[in-house]
Amino acid sequence: MPHDHHDHLSPSGHPYRADDDTSLSYWQTMEIAVRELLVENGVTTAAEIAVQIETMDARNPSNGAKVVARAWADPAFHAALMDNAGDATRDMGFDIGPLKLIAVENTADVHNMIVCTLCSCYPRNLLGLPPDWYKSRAYRSRTVREPRSVLAEFGVNLADTTQVRVHDSTADMRYIVIPARPQGTENMSQTELAALVTRDSMIGTGVAKTP
């Protein structure tokens, strides 16, 4: 394949991202200084910081997918999850922290989606860090006013008869969407079901994949 340096497109047709090797910034300098001062003053240790980064890196949407798959397959767990999502997911071994976690369930008639209009609150202990668009002015501003047009940008086109419920998160209260279980999955295992659950389906900007 001939190299084409003019259009800066990868073989997949997407533009390459810029290298992340800019010169040291003021804020990076502050991060280094703050971190070293905290260690020198005995507030934390380098090991504790490393463990926290590893803990956060290990959180990703596959954790939420396991929760959704179990809710689809296990009626008792489903009931517990809808009653108190924090306790139900803690019982599965996830570190949800002190936050109140609320599960909202999509059905044939109702579609839920989550946003944080004030900042970037997200079920990060379960799904990992939020995608950049979740923190964007456009998503924060428009989702509570025109959710259907936002959903359409994500490729989710709902029937006019479907009720849309938008949940505005707060610092202390986070939501996770339980997407509707796809047709034709009756005989699938929880592991197979979990593979159908995408990050966006748990934010409400997507739906679960069909097998």
Partner 1 sequence: MFDPENPARRWHDMGGNAAGPVPTDQHDFSMWEKRVDALMIIGSAKGYFTVDGLRRVLEDMGEDAFEKMTYYERWIASVNQNLIEGGAYTTAQLAEKMAQVAARGDTYGDAAKPT
Structure tokens at 150: 């936002």
Binding status of residue 110 toward partner 1 by CB under 8 A: no
Choose, by CB under 8 A, the member of 57, 83, 95, 109 that binds partner 1: 57
- Closest distance between partner 1 and the C-beta of residue 190, in Å? 29
Q: Is 25 in the site for partner 1 (CB under 8 A)?
A: yes
| Residues 146-175: x where in contact with partner 1 by CB under 8 A, - otherwise, as a string | ----x--xx-------------x--xx---
How far is CA 80 from its chain centroid? 21
Active-site residue, selected from the candidate residues 62, 119, 136, 141: 119
Provide the terminal-to-terminal Cα distance of the chain, rounded to the nearest Å.
Answer: 35
Segment interacting with partner 1 (CB under 8 A) among 75-83, 114-122, 156-164, 193-201 = 114-122
Q: In 10 A of CB 206, how many CB atoms?
A: 19
Is residue 127 a contact partner of residue 176, using CB atoms and an 8 Å limit? Answer: yes
Q: Is 44 an interacting residue with respect to partner 1 (CB under 8 A)?
A: yes
What does residue 151 show for φ and ψ, rounded to 5 degrees?
-60, -40
Instruction: Reply yes or no on whether 189 is catalytic.
Output: no
Q: What is the DSSP letter of 105?
A: E
Residue 46 carries which side chain, given as an amino acid letter? A
C-alpha to C-alpha distance for 135 and 194, rounded to whole angstroms = 26
Query: What are the structure tokens assigned to 4, written together?
Result: 């084409």
Residues at the contact surface with partner 1, assessed by CB under 8 A: 17, 20-21, 23-25, 27-39, 41, 43-44, 46, 48-49, 52-53, 56-57, 115, 117-120, 129, 131-133, 135-145, 150, 153-154, 168, 171-172
Q: Which residues carry out catalysis?
A: 116, 119-121
